Amino acid sequence: MNTVMVIEDEEAIATLLSYNLEKEGYKVIVVSNGANAVLEVDKHRPSVIILDWMLPEISGVEICKLIRSKPEIKAIPIIMLTAKSQEEDKVKGLIAGADDYVTKPFSVPELMARVKTNMRRAPLFEEKEKFISFKDISMDLVEKKVRRGDVNIHLSPTEFRLLKMLVKEPGKVFSREVLLKSVWGENIFVESRTVDVHIRRLRSSLNKYGPDYIRTVRANGYAIDEIIENNEEKDCDSDCE
């Protein structure tokens, strides 16, 4: 799943951005403290960074320079958010190494379009984790192998990506739209029903060897979770629309 890091001290803007980026299918990490920003970038290795110009303690421009000076993270596209619209400041932002800039107040669709464009230039980091697991299901992200207990499970690449999204964030409910965008990509036309078809295949491959941990959240999507009795009929809670 592509991650966008939002470095912004204003909570209202950070919340607005998180909401919209998550709707687009991105994983979002918000950093509100400029002093931690470079460390957090190094730790999470996001695909794209949205960086506010005006931060307490350290300016966005300084953070940008620091990121560009570190070989491991310097290729990450940075979109600078700035309240200053003067030409001179824009130029300074670009000199500091930002790939793009958006002036506040910004239009959300425009910023989302910029994120998408910059996402294409995101560096391919090696998977930080080689292995992830949930209960007895374990995934080797490098070798692209899945095991359940001692059994090797053969999955199609699509089912592998679906399972990886679920296993990376157990308990989180992913809508069909988010799964579509993340697993199939933005520009491929597939119906949301396609997700159900692949989840069904995933279940039939996995469930021969153990209980069904994939939870259907009615009218919403899917999660991987502790086994729930009466899986399909779970009551709607706050997750439901």
Name the site residues for Ca ion (rule: CB under 5 A): 9-10, 52, 54
Q: Which is nearer to Ca ion, 80 or 199 (CB)?
A: 80
Q: Which is nearer to Ca ion, 10 or 136 (CB)?
A: 10
Q: How far apart are CA 29 and CA 141, in angstroms?
A: 22
**And the tokens for 169?**
């964030």
CB of 83 to Ca ion, least distance (A): 8
CB of 13 to Ca ion, least distance (A): 7
For Ca ion, the nearest residue by Cβ is: 54
CB of 31 to Ca ion, least distance (A): 12
CB of 55 to Ca ion, least distance (A): 6
Q: Which is nearer to Ca ion, 104 or 201 (CB)?
A: 104
| Residues sharing a CB contact under 8 Å with residue 5, sequence separation 6 or more, in sequence order | 28, 29, 30, 31, 40, 41, 44, 46, 48, 49, 50
Q: Which is nearer to Ca ion, 9 or 22 (CB)?
A: 9
Q: Which is nearer to Ca ion, 58 or 190 (CB)?
A: 58
CB of 58 to Ca ion, least distance (A): 12
Q: How far apart are CA 151 and CA 93, in angstroms?
A: 53
